[in-house]
Amino acid sequence: MVICKRIQWPVGQGGFATGTVRHGNQKYHYVYDCGSDNLSALRNSIQCYTNNDDIECLFVSHLHSDHINGIDTLLTTYPVNRVFLPYISDLEAIVLAIESAKQGMLTYNYLNFLENPFDWFFSRNVNTVSMVQRYESNPDHINGLSNKISRDTIFKDTFLDLANIDKDTPQLLPGCVDIGLSFKGGPLWILAPFVPPVPEGVYDRFIEECNNLKLSISKNNYNSRNLQLLLTDKDLLAKLKRTYDLISSKHNFVSMCLYSGPPNRHYLMPTHARRRKLFRKERVGWMGTGDSPLKNEVVLDAFRRRYDRYLPLVGTLMCPHHGSKDNMDNHLIKVVNPHFSFAAASTTNGHGHPSGDVMSQLRLSEVGFHQISEVPGSKLVEEVSYLHF
């Protein structure tokens, strides 16, 4: 029997999800995001996450503060063997830095992280750091990694056994890679990331406006020190903030989803799922969505193709972007068809999360819903298991 216990921790507006997969005497721990606007709730949750073993995998959906600002604390508390994050181009790193400056949260540590995430994690004793490409992207068109990764570490295999990943090497993985947790019975649990495609021309207006300001900003010239000096010019920063507003609604294209569940539906028999005191037979897979723009038709279509074999196994859906109506609607609900859903959002926030429209659509589709806030009692604990043949 394969057993998975997963917890969505009460960190408020942010994300901190953990999972432990067991089969016999073997077990794996994984984490999906670690951040929050409520630092007190986040620290409490990290402290409550008691784990005597290494964390095998940390998946970072995207590089917004409310999803990553607890990673340093997590890494100093627990050993983390492998980190997976979405491919970030130099141009997108520049946009993220400007966004952070606009919010008054820019630090030199964050700039160093954006400049070279590989070195940032290696310096914190992570064994392996991998970037996942956009779904259906061409590795020959990858820009901005020449000083960070060599061509011989660009993987083309679509299945990766966790036990066979090389250490101390930056890696670029294909957008359709499935990561297998191998037990004595084989790869009995899959962790499958998905990084949405970014439509052509999304950043063209931003680059044009930067050129009008006589700034040499292109797709391949990120340098943390130069950008820090640039962003300390208050007049220039004000102009860059207005320029950023041109694309602010599109920044969530770089947000990685994660399927966590059985490898296929042909040889599993779900036994039970538990939420508080609820027991019932159901699908045992879980879908994390970060801040992915799954209301966008192009992204949703790619999401459907990527997870075609896994969608029939998903029982629990994370509502993207804390349940924002800009990131999901009934089309996503129909595509996933979950039994249960949740959103991580503070009890009071200025964004209207989770959206009343989203909760209404879930209710009409007879999908259960739970809000995880900063209140300790809102923690969501699920324990699922299945028999394999």
**Share of residues in the chain with pLDDT > 70 (%):** 82
Q: Is the pLDDT of residue 388 over 90?
A: no
- How far is residue 170's CA from residue 192's CA, in Å, rounded to a whole number? 19
Residue 274: Cβ within 10 Å count:
14
- Domain assignment present for residue 209? The answer is no
- Domain assignment present for residue 294? The answer is yes
| Averaged pLDDT, 214-228 | 60
- CA 15 to chain centroid, in Å, comes to 9
- How far is residue 109's CA from residue 97's CA, in Å, rounded to a whole number? 11
- Domain assignment present for residue 217? The answer is no
Per the structure, the complete domain to which residue 315 belongs is given by 2-87+119-194+255-388
> What are the backbone dihedrals phi and psi of residue 343, each rounded to the nearest 5 degrees, phi first?
-140, 140
Total number of residues shown for the chain: 389
CATH number of the domain within which 12 lies: 3.60.15
Number of domains in the chain: 1
Tokens of 317: 């859906």
- Domain assignment present for residue 312? The answer is yes
Could you tell me if 270 and 316 are in contact, meaning their C-beta atoms sit under 8 angstroms apart? no
Could you tell me if 86 and 256 are in contact, meaning their C-beta atoms sit under 8 angstroms apart? yes
Over the stretch 158-191, which tens digit does the pLDDT of each residue have?
888 887 766 777 888 999 999 999 888 788 999 9
Global pTM value: 0.90
pLDDT for position 297: 92
- Listed in sequence order, the residues at least 6 apart from 330 whose beta carbon sits closer than 8 Å to its beta carbon are 361, 364, 365
Parallel/antiparallel/unpaired status of strands 178-183 and 2-8: unpaired
What's the CA angle centered on 30, arms 29 and 32, to 5 degrees? 155
- Domain assignment present for residue 129? The answer is yes
Burial of residue 3, with CB atoms counted within 10 A of its CB: 0-12 exposed, 13-18 middle, 19 or more buried: middle
Over the stretch 87-113, which tens digit does the pLDDT of each residue have?
988 778 888 888 888 778 888 888 889
